[in-house]
Structure 1
């Protein structure tokens, strides 16, 4: 039986079937295991490396493929139909509790801003030893405004939610007080592995001179649509 084979492989490495299950559930539930995020993620990533062959084979049956960056200390699960880094085209993937979940508009703009800042830091050769891009929040806000054409929401709760969601996705590692423009934020290399098709299209619109933000006449309709989407998609786990 498959279970017996997996259990035997785990035991050869001093691990248990339960550990294998935890690795699988984390990848299917969160899509990312990032070693720097927490002690739990550190243990899961180390376990993944030891069980890599069994985990890969198990997920391939479902059409889920993995992108592994041992140096960066993370593994990402890509749902069926997604491209994996190194393939012909850039990855287009939605994140969340449900693999097909979409980010909200402000979170898309923030994701783009963080990705651009990371790429600028990478080109400048100033990443940290852990591969992180350090930047002041003022730089993030400025880049966001350049992309979206307006400032981020002044509502404290909404702004907190946007940053928290990207932190849960491990795009952000550490973040200071988001209301202090001089606070530092660290961006992980994971940001380069995630790009939503809707975000990419939105960037094209911006480059063509259009705004990422809906016009005022459509704002009420958009808000209702976002509410329905949130109810259908569920919440990102804590």
Structure 2
């Protein structure tokens, strides 16, 4: 009760109710990311976050949950204890398995790694739009999957839709209607959030393995 009263008092200075604060925190815990351009709801939540950013960080730090706020692209991502966070190091709360493997299947991890690689490539080539996004065709992604990992995108339409819907939910890609991803001629946009989702170390491992395979 004392904590709640103190929190309410602090929030009142920003014109935010305890219910609105709870909605913001629960959204972060549920979705792990809030992206301002995603929807009107997330725009409102992101703007609310800006007003109480320090308070949200302090509140979640009790649970050892850390936040990465990328103001340039207007998104904030929550990381569980022990997860790798760009620019941060956490030795005290290391999980037995990486957060990426715990939450995602092998197919999802493979595609995310390749998306990160293609984003990095486009970044070096300057092929990034004003929103930090990279446009790539499914055909190009499929070729990159084969070249880097020797894998293919799901052939079954429902499996492919499920895969890309999951990546969209994670705010890693954007595309139009779900039916579009069933078409090999479709295009998707890789969002800048991919950089904070996949560490440079993971990308380096992918590159090293690919170079080793080429040598063999």
Q: Same fold (TM over 0.5)?
A: yes
CA contact (8 A) 1:33 1:45 kept: yes
> Which residue matches 1:209?
213
Contact 2:67 2:79 (C-alpha < 8 Å) held by counterparts: yes
Distance (Å, rounded) in 2 between the aligned partners of 1:65 and 1:88: 11
**Cα distance in 2 for residues equivalent to 1:167 and 1:152:** 16
TM-score, length of structure 1 as denominator length: 0.76
Aligned residue for 1:173?
A: 174
Let me know the Cα RMSD of the aligned residues: 2.7
Match of 2:149 in 1: 148
What is the aligned partner in structure 1 of residue 99 from structure 2?
94
3-state SS of paired residue (1:178): helix
Kept after mapping to 1: 8 A contact 2:161/2:182: no
CA distance in 2, matches of 1:85, 1:70: 14
Q: How many residues align?
A: 204
Equivalent position SS for 1:145: helix
Query: Conserved in 2, the CA contact under 8 Å of 1:141 and 1:151?
Result: yes
Give ranges in structure 1 of 5+ residues lacking alignment.
Answer: 211-238
Comparing 34-43 with 2-11, greater Cα deviation is found at 2-11
3-state SS, counterpart of residue 104 of structure 2: coil
* Structure 2 residue aligned with 1:85: 86
Deviations 1:32-63 (A, max 9, x none): 11111111111111111111011000001111
Alignment of 1:1-238 (within 5 A): 1-87=2-88, 94=99, 101-175=102-176, 177-195=180-198, 203=206, 205-209=209-213
Q: With CA pairs under 8 Å and 6+ residues apart, which has the higher RCO, 1 or 2? A: 1
Name the stretch that deviates more: 54-63 or 24-33. Answer: 24-33
Q: Note the residue ranges of structure 2 that are not aligned, 5 or more in a row.
A: 91-96
> Over residues 90-141 of structure 1, what are the superposed CA-to-partner deviations in whole Å (9 max), with x where a residue is unaligned?
xx9525xxxx733112111110121111112222223222111112221111
Alpha-carbon separation, structure 2, partners of 1:201 and 1:131: 22
Give the whole-Å Cα distance in 2 for the aligned partners of 1:93 and 1:133.
27
Q: 1:196 to 1:93 in 2, by over 3 A?
A: farther
TM-score between the two structures when normalised by the length of structure 2 = 0.83
